[in-house]
């Protein structure tokens, strides 16, 4: 019984630590396989871990998360959100490197940057400048292009200022 109480207290401390790291925007400390494994049955914490992974573009971690989000209705909805983004990334990758057509796919639209890119390219809502796809997104301009080493890049601009660069493999 003593071991169970100590384990529960330790788990509560870990949970609080993840919440604090997330609130302090230390997403790298939250998005890791150890956290996913530790909280495999906690849909709330797994969702926070998934959001942290999105914040730092660690999409390769999402399958470990969305496959475990099944214990609550909110968890399942968050799982759909994460799998949608992951699928859009895989489809965009195939589009850029294999000329795989996107027009037959109908996936939910999310607020994540790759979802915006996916829908713009799928619906031909872009202009092409050299090898870059230029997408206007509310108050941002997105430049999407293929890298040399099997990755693609999404640059976010506000005016002529680069805000953030996203790399996807």
Residue 108 has φ and ψ, to the nearest 5°, of -60, 150
From its phi and psi, is residue 54 left (phi > 0), alpha (psi between -120 and 50) or beta? alpha
Mean pLDDT per 10-residue interval, the chain, length 169 residues: 43 79 96 96 96 97 97 96 98 95 94 96 96 93 92 95 95
Q: What is the pLDDT of residue 9?
A: 43
Spell out the domain ranges in the chain: 2-168
Q: What is the pLDDT of residue 108?
A: 93
List C-alpha distances in Å: 69 to 74, 82, 134.
9, 10, 35
Q: What is the pLDDT of residue 13?
A: 65
The residues near 15 (Cβ < 8 Å, ≥ 6 apart) are 39, 42, 45
Q: What is the pLDDT of residue 95?
A: 96
């Amino acid at each position: 019984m003593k071991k169970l109480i100590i384990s529960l207290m330790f788990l509560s401390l870990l949970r609080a630590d993840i919440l604090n790291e997330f609130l302090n925007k230390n997403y790298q400390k939250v998005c890791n396989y150890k956290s996913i494994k530790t909280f495999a049955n906690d849909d709330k914490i797994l969702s926070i871990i998934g959001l942290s992974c999105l914040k730092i573009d660690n999409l390769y971690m999402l399958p470990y998360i969305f496959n475990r989000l099944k214990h609550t209705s909110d968890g399942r909805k968050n799982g759909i959100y994460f799998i949608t983004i992951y699928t859009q990334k895989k489809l965009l990758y195939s589009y850029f490197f294999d000329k795989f057509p996107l027009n037959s796919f109908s996936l939910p639209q999310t607020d994540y940057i790759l979802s915006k890119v996916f829908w713009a390219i799928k619906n031909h809502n872009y202009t092409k400048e050299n090898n870059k796809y230029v997408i206007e997104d509310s108050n941002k301009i997105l430049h999407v292009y293929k890298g040399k080493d099997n990755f693609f890049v999404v640059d976010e601009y506000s005016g002529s200022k680069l805000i953030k660069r996203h790399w996807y493999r």
